[in-house]
Amino acid sequence: MHEINEHEHEHCHKEHCHEEDGCCCCHEHDNDEGYIKKGIIRIAAGLIALGIAIFTQGAVSIVFYIIAYVIFGYDVVLEAVENIREGHLFDENFLMSLATICALAIGEYTEAVAVMLFYQIGEFLQGAVVNRSRRSIKDLMELNIDDVNILKDGNIVTVEPEDIEIGDIVVIKPGEKIPVDGIITQGSTSLDMKSLTGESVPVEKAEGDSVISGSVNNASLIYVKAEKRYSDSTVARIMDMVENASSHKSETESFISRFAKIYTPAVVLAALLVVLIPVLMGCDFRTWLYRALIFLVASCPCALVVSIPLTFFAGIGTLSRKGVLVKGSNYVELLSRTDTVVMDKTGTITKGEFEVTDIKGGETLKYAASLERFSTHPMGAAVVDKYEGEYLDAEDVKNITGFGVSGKIEGKTILAGSKRLMDSEGISCDDGYNIYVAVEGKCIGAIAVEDTVKPDSKRAVDDLNSLGIANIAMLTGDKKEIAGKIAKDVGIKNVYSELLPQDKVSTIETLYSTGSSDIAAIGDGINDAPVLARADIGIAMGGIGSDAAIEAADVVIMEDSLAKLPVAIRLARATMKLCRENVTFVLAIKIIVLILAVIGKSNMWLAVFADVGVALLAVLNSIRITRM
């Protein structure tokens, strides 16, 4: 049986290709209908030859047995020969070829051909299953666009997406996909973004709004100014991420690869001993050779090397369909083991949409807005939005990470920022506000800015608790009182407030030292990059609009919803459960059949079931994850 390929080998033109980690065969079926048709013709032709062989006698019968064998097994034998030439001796092709050729040599024609027949049937059915699973991901991320319309010199010109330049005006009709990230310059519409976020509710967009490539224009004609080239767009990055997800092997997959390397030569040696020891003791050679052949066929490890990668492959595809992109099967395994979750507050638990609720001091807002317009902090943006007057000219403006902004206005040194900033400068201010303003070392006023909790944050925390993740912590640079109130609203008991970026990393270290072993950190993927990097698994929220999030995080939740996290953990655990079921089932069946083969209570048909049948059952079990 073919293993799911770990990489999309550009150089692979054969049906099989090899990697260092053992037998790993590409089985590309770009044309599903052609693959199915060829498979049916091959099996039908082989069955006709086998039927003629069964109902004839003598040399004619033998000739048609050989023809049937060649039809069913020519590629297996050729691959075994090629593998031997390349140094890949002990694999499934070698075992199948050795067992069936020996069976032909001792006159067991029907069983030799049957082994190859059922092997090919298993290959055919498994190929169909793999195509379906692979197609589910391709359908999810099938965001490629053949051509687009752009506005040039007042005329609409059709070009390929790769030819779009930054600044071009793209004309997008109803039903068409947006090819590049950009801003609507004319028109309004609703966008279908379920391929990106997993949510089916359309998103309303109007002139001035940003749009993401891969979204489908539902309603009316819009004009979009390209802000990125096609190769740099969100959809291109997502597709690249999904295509390369299987390059990161989990511990389970790595173990199976190492196991197969030891297991396969071991069973070949065991089969040889099954023949030699009894024959040296005077037993019948033909009887024990037949038992050894059964032993070889039943021992093929393909059920393991196929079903485990396929389980992860299907799991990653299912997560993608839910709007959660995982960069590799190793992260699926880590996600399943998560026992501690630390999360940022702003933009993760809360909306990150601040508004000014109170202002103390007549000149406070004017000074604050004149400085905060140079800041990228969302609280600063709220101050700027609140101010409606003329800005004061500011010079030497500096953003002080984690503290605030400083600058000179009318020759005076102005500070606008947190209580920590004021304390560090020895400036006395009243408590209870978020932003304080000081002129020439004296506090002249303060501004209260509040954020609101997302509707699904409390449900997400409750769901995490129901999954047995009791250790949930909130890390924030906000004031203790504000952080405590937000945490209480959503049900988080462990709160670490007034933290600078480096303090958040130190908090993670403290959690590790106090017993937490598998920590998942979730944030915006940019400001929280150090924390995401330090934790066992970093999860970026709302990555749909953030290139940095897609590149930096191990897992990207495409929709800005914390409720996707427990969904992802639940699916990761289900994936690992299926892996354990497959390993247990496959090994148990093989051990039983191998023992029966040695004591003479098995035959080639049971061996075929232990190989092809068990592999197929394991594959079918693996794809159960796609229905969750």
Spatial distance between the Cα atoms of 369 and 388, rounded to a whole number of angstroms: 9
Spatial distance between the Cα atoms of 593 and 596, rounded to a whole number of angstroms: 5
- State residue 360 phi and psi, 5-degree precision: -115, 120
DSSP string, 13-65: -SS---BTTB-------SSHHHHHHHHHHHHHHHHHHHHHHHTS-HHHHHHHH
Q: To the nearest 5 percent, what fractions of the chain are helix, strand and coil?
A: 50, 15, 30
What DSSP state is assigned to residue 144?
-
The residues annotated as belonging to the active site are 344
Tokens representing residue 492 in the block? 């988080």
Spatial distance between the Cα atoms of 164 and 236, rounded to a whole number of angstroms: 14
Identity at 174, one-letter amino acid code: P
User: Is the Cβ–Cβ distance between 437 and 355 less than 8 Å?
Assistant: no
Torsion of CA 566, 572, 576, 577, to 10 degrees: 40
* Residue 555, helix vs strand vs coil: strand
Contacts 24+ apart (CB under 8 A), 15-22: 15/75, 15/79, 16/79, 16/82, 16/93, 18/83, 18/86, 18/88, 21/249, 21/254, 21/257, 22/91, 22/257, 22/260, 22/261, 22/305
User: Is the Cβ–Cβ distance between 183 and 168 less than 8 Å?
Assistant: no
- Integer CA distances (angstroms), 450 to 400, 433, 434, 497, in order: 21, 10, 8, 15
Helix (H) or strand (E) holding 274: helix 251-280
β-strand 155-159 against 148-152: which pairing, if any?
A: antiparallel
